[in-house]
Amino acid sequence: MTLDHPIFTRWPAQYPGRLQLFSLPTPNGVKVGIMLEETGLEYEAHRVDIMADESHDPAFLALNPNGKIPAIYDPDGPSGKPLALFESGAILLYLADKTGQFISADPNTRFETIQWLMWQMGGVGPMFGQVGFFNKFSGKDYEDKRPRDRYVTESARLLNVLDDRLAHRDWVMGDDYSIADISLLGWVRNLIGFYEARELVGFDRFLHVQAWFNRSLERPAVQRGLVVTATN
Ligand SMILES: N[C@@H](CCC(=O)N[C@@H](CS)C(=O)NCC(=O)O)C(=O)O
């Protein structure tokens, strides 16, 4: 079996029957590594080095014209036809539906889960990412601290929303761990770790988020998922 997509000219598949992941352990990338480990789906992981601009290689752009990881190619997509997919939120939803795991079959609970997933995609990811830029990366040299402070304030507000949500719940959706949790974990981890913004956002006052974060990190699939594509 050979897979018919330009991506495989640059990143050949050794196991073409398996779902193919193209990623790197960034906050968006780890979502899919964790989800694949949680579901138990068989997959083959390819490391796409965004620092070396591999996400703008024509072969990668054929899979994701937006030039960002993560992306997947499922040779066994809906109706048995291959499916190529980018955007981590769409991938999480797809894998949840494919396996019937980490999203409720009940329509009301399903949409509530999607709501929190969209909240992460549209709010938490972009805001925490800007904190990373202005506090850790090129933006840290800017003398004017107002842009940084704007994103720090908004990130702290979002953490407060999450803290309230988790006040009487183990997971975002209550008793059931879901794709909403999986979408958030890598961002919280980066904000207080790699982005060095723990004190800036006042993380220590968000006790429920802290408890949820530690609970997440205890999951063996999370521990495995966080290092998928860490090395070649
Ligand atoms: N909304 C997209 C964002 C993906 C994204 O920003 N990926 C980053 C890594 S976390 C990336 O590939 N950056 C490389 C670049 O922009 O060149 C998703 O959730 O999949």
Where are the chain's structural domains?
A: 6-101, 107-222
Q: What are the beta bridge partners of residue 73?
A: 20, 84
Q: Give the distance (Å) from ligand 1 centre to CA of residue 59.
A: 17
| Binding pocket residue ranges, ligand 1, CB within 6 Å | 26-29, 50, 55, 67-70, 87-89
Specify the pLDDT at position 1.
Answer: 79
Q: Give the distance (Å) from ligand 1 centre to CA of residue 69.
A: 5
Residue having the nearest C-alpha atom to atom 16 of ligand 1: 68
- Report pTM: 0.98
Q: In this structure, are strands 83-86 and 71-74 parallel, antiparallel, or unpaired?
A: antiparallel
CATH of 107-222 given 1.10.290.10, 2.60.40.2480, 3.50.50.60, 1.20.1050.10: 1.20.1050.10
Ligand 1 atom at minimum distance from 87 CA:
20
- Give the separation between CA 10 and CA 13, rounded to whole angstroms: 10
How does DSSP classify residue 137? S
Per-residue pLDDT of the chain (232 residues; tens, 9 = 90+): 789 999 999 999 999 999 999 999 999 999 999 999 999 999 999 999 999 999 999 999 999 999 999 999 999 999 999 999 999 999 999 999 999 999 999 999 999 999 999 999 999 999 999 999 999 999 999 999 999 999 999 999 999 999 999 999 999 999 999 999 999 999 999 999 999 999 999 999 999 999 999 999 999 999 999 999 999 8
User: What 3-state DSSP class applies to 83?
Assistant: strand
Q: What are the beta bridge partners of residue 126?
A: none
Look at residues 139, 137, 136, 120 and name the one whose alpha carbon lies nearest to residue 197.
136
Q: Give the distance (Å) from ligand 1 centre to CA of residue 33.
A: 15
Mention the CATH class of domain 6-101.
Answer: alpha beta
Residue from 24, 28, 91, 183 whose mutation best tests the ligand 1 pocket (most atoms within 8 A of CB):
28
